[in-house]
Structure 1
Amino acid sequence: MPVYFFWGADEFRMKKAVRALCDRNLNPDWASFNYEKIPPEQSDAIIQGLNQAMTPPFGMGKRVVWLVDTPLCQRCSADLLTELERTLPNIPDSSILLLTSSNKPDGRLKSTKVLKKHADIREFDTIPPWKTDQIEHQVYQVAKDVGLQLTPQAAALLGEVIGADTRRLYNELEKLKTYWTKPNQALPPNAITDLVATSTQSSLQLAAALRQGNTDRALTLMTDLLERNEPALRIVATLVGQFRTWLWVKLMTESGERDTRIIAQAADVGNPKRIYFLQKEIRNVSLPQLQNALQLLLSLDYSLKRGAPETVTLHTKVIELAHCFKPV
């Protein structure tokens, strides 16, 4: 398929995919003639990209035309839509038209529907920190890409330490591969402890401290996160996701549901085996406590988005949240 649309906030993974696409299709000797990168500031960027994609390549290899950060799936005029409908089905196999955007395509737009019909659409969005099973799966995939075997404990530890930061994940795995001299054996977790810089502060650990009603530790973790320049809204998004998961697991469990697959589906947990551990985490927590905590978090998110001072607002809410889980 000669048309590709890559979207998502994970810029590092997207750039790797763009580079791989270019390497597969461009002849190095003729790349300067057949590669066109068109920035979004150009007023006629989309029209120029479509025209270039219809032009035969010069010399060997294919022509690659890249429309960078295109707004095509966020807004599209009637004239531009007509041009898309006319051009996309007729782009020759000797050309590659690549469109990229950090924003998710708006499925309501006709331009998005046209692209879905004629393009290979790939998502490169960042995995939310609370979706630990997806992060762990990504660790395995990247380890496979760099040619390194990991034990399950090592993969889990690496996912916990690095999270969804794919740039750092690739860098650390390349470093570990250089260090590991036993290619036929899986890398153990102690190698990660020795070589990967770890931080004991994370938003998920903050969520655990709040759930335990440990005000002092929660305040310390929040201070450390802010000192490491962790964005306040990202911290809150992680907390909201984690508490929402706990709330759904508690709600389904107290309603009498025993099938972990059904609970996992309701709680948006990819691996049903995690449900047992989530239930264990909230065994001593009541449903009203979780409901109250989620309300406070959503209020915090609203206040920050309205411009409330970050440090004072976050520390005040941390105290309120931890108080929700204080034993009566």
Structure 2
Amino acid sequence: MPIYLYWGDDDFALNRAVTALRDRTLDADWASFNYDKISPEQPNAVVQALNQAMTPPFGSGSRLVWLVDTTVCVRCSEDLLSELERTLPLIPETTVLLLTATNKPDGRIKSTKLLQKHAEIREFAAISPWKTDQLVTQVKQAAQEVGVKLTPTATQMLAEAVGNDTRQLFSELEKLRLYGGSGSQPLSEEAIATLVTASTQNSLQLADAIRQGNTARALTLISDLFRRNEVPLMIVKTLIGRFRTWLWIKLMTESGERDEREIARAAEINNPKQIYFLQKDVKSLSLEALSQTLPILLELESGLKQGANELELFQTKVIELCQTMRR
């Protein structure tokens, strides 16, 4: 009784996984008979999915029942929970039941605990843009999947170019695969620079410009980000994450901590080797200046949520941040 729960806000990666599951589950000749995609708008969607899951497939292959955008792991009535408890253990081996959701399952409720017992759960949450080590790992895994060999420098460049946009990542890798052909040599950074559509004006570069107190460059980057229709709250989220990391690095370093693993743990960084480079970032900065950045960023976030003029507020707060970093 294969049961899967896929959740997360990275729609592209999640849908790729759904497609792969569908391809290995269904016989192409019988797919129209054995594939049920049940949307949340349909009446009694969960019960309908469970009933379909109990139905034997026609012809060859298995049956796939996909319950889309379900909220069963966030809220679940007692009647629905009883139906899940009764049905999930009885789903036949010839059926694959897939549940997908955007929000993280609530581990405190009974329906989530039930699925943890019976289902394989996979997360497809977008990686935070400032977690560069995880972005590099994602590029390595995707390149291996597509069949593209990259040098370490090229891997780093591609991660910086596409950030956490998995759709663009696979698009660029397909382009690189065609460019590299059947060559056995890894593609170098020259290929990345030539072929990849780099999002050079990104939120991390904005963070660096602010850190350096470079007001002119920071304002130019803001204009570019808005022109590309980047979501302002996501830009702020990236800035808050970056400056919080720098603050932790500075705080731990000035407190006398020398163990990179301890600093990495406190700053929530997976790869301790990054600490050396982050320490160089904050070496010339004062702890007081870094401490003042987070309240300003939180004021920016609050203003955006209250409906202020986004571009004007961003420009004002970034000027204030740059002035703070030059003190």
TM (norm. structure 1) is 0.98
- Which residue does 2:265 correspond to in 1? 265
Deviations 1:50-99 (A, max 9, x none): 11111111111111100011111121111001111111111111111100
RMSD: 1.0
Give the whole-Å Cα distance in 2 for the aligned partners of 1:106 and 1:299: 30
Give the whole-Å Cα distance in 2 for the aligned partners of 1:199 and 1:118: 41
Tell me whether 1:45 sits opposite 2:45 in the alignment.
yes
Give the whole-Å Cα distance in 1 for the aligned partners of 2:232 and 2:164: 17
- Please tell me whether the aligned partners of residues 150 and 186 of structure 1 are also in contact (alpha carbons under 8 angstroms): yes
- Please tell me whether the aligned partners of residues 257 and 263 of structure 1 are also in contact (alpha carbons under 8 angstroms): yes
Gaps of 5+ in 2: none
Q: Secondary structure of the residue that 2:107 maps to in structure 1?
A: coil
- Please tell me whether the aligned partners of residues 56 and 63 of structure 1 are also in contact (alpha carbons under 8 angstroms): yes
- Which residue does 1:304 correspond to in 2? 304
Deviates more, 1:103-112 or 1:122-131: 103-112
- Please tell me whether the aligned partners of residues 7 and 101 of structure 1 are also in contact (alpha carbons under 8 angstroms): yes
- Which residue does 2:6 correspond to in 1? 6
Code of the residue aligned with 1:154 in structure 2: it is A
Structure 1 residue 182 displacement after superposition: 5.6
Code of the residue aligned with 2:62 in structure 1: it is K
Code of the residue aligned with 2:139 in structure 1: it is V
Give the whole-Å Cα distance in 1 for the aligned partners of 2:302 and 2:93: 49
Give the whole-Å Cα distance in 1 for the aligned partners of 2:305 and 2:211: 24
Q: Secondary structure of the residue that 1:29 maps to in structure 2?
A: helix
- Which residue does 2:159 correspond to in 1? 159
Deviations 1:145-177 (A, max 9, x none): 011111010000001111111111111111111
Deviations 1:2-58 (A, max 9, x none): 110000111111111111111111111111111100011012100000111111111
- Which residue does 2:238 correspond to in 1? 238
Any residues of structure 2 matched to 1:59-74 within 5 Å, and which?
A: 59-74=59-74
- Please tell me whether the aligned partners of residues 7 and 100 of structure 2 are also in contact (alpha carbons under 8 angstroms): yes
- Which residue does 2:316 correspond to in 1? 316
Give the whole-Å Cα distance in 1 for the aligned partners of 2:239 and 2:20: 36
- Which residue does 1:193 correspond to in 2? 193
Code of the residue aligned with 1:98 in structure 2: it is L
- Which residue does 2:211 correspond to in 1? 211
Code of the residue aligned with 1:230 in structure 2: it is E
Code of the residue aligned with 1:78 in structure 2: it is E
Large movers: runs of 4+ above 4 Å: none
- Which residue does 1:295 correspond to in 2? 295
Q: Secondary structure of the residue that 1:37 maps to in structure 2?
A: strand
Give the whole-Å Cα distance in 1 for the aligned partners of 2:313 and 2:125: 29
- Which residue does 2:99 correspond to in 1? 99
Give the whole-Å Cα distance in 2 for the aligned partners of 1:176 and 1:148: 7
- Please tell me whether the aligned partners of residues 148 and 183 of structure 1 are also in contact (alpha carbons under 8 angstroms): no
Structure 1 residue 243 displacement after superposition: 0.4
Structure 1 residue 258 displacement after superposition: 0.8
Code of the residue aligned with 1:176 in structure 2: it is L
Code of the residue aligned with 2:15 in structure 1: it is K
Q: Secondary structure of the residue that 2:272 maps to in structure 1?
A: coil
Gaps of 5+ in 1: none
Give the whole-Å Cα distance in 2 for the aligned partners of 1:196 and 1:77: 49
Give the whole-Å Cα distance in 1 for the aligned partners of 2:260 and 2:90: 49
TM (norm. structure 2) is 0.98
- Please tell me whether the aligned partners of residues 162 and 199 of structure 2 are also in contact (alpha carbons under 8 angstroms): no
Structure 1 residue 181 displacement after superposition: 3.9
Code of the residue aligned with 2:293 in structure 1: it is A
Give the whole-Å Cα distance in 2 for the aligned partners of 1:199 and 1:92: 47
Structure 1 residue 200 displacement after superposition: 2.9
Code of the residue aligned with 1:141 in structure 2: it is Q
Identical pairs, percent: 61
Q: 1:43 to 1:140 in 2, by over 3 A?
A: same
- How many residue pairs were aligned? 327
Deviates more, 1:15-24 or 1:191-200: 191-200
Tell me whether 1:129 sits opposite 2:129 in the alignment.
yes
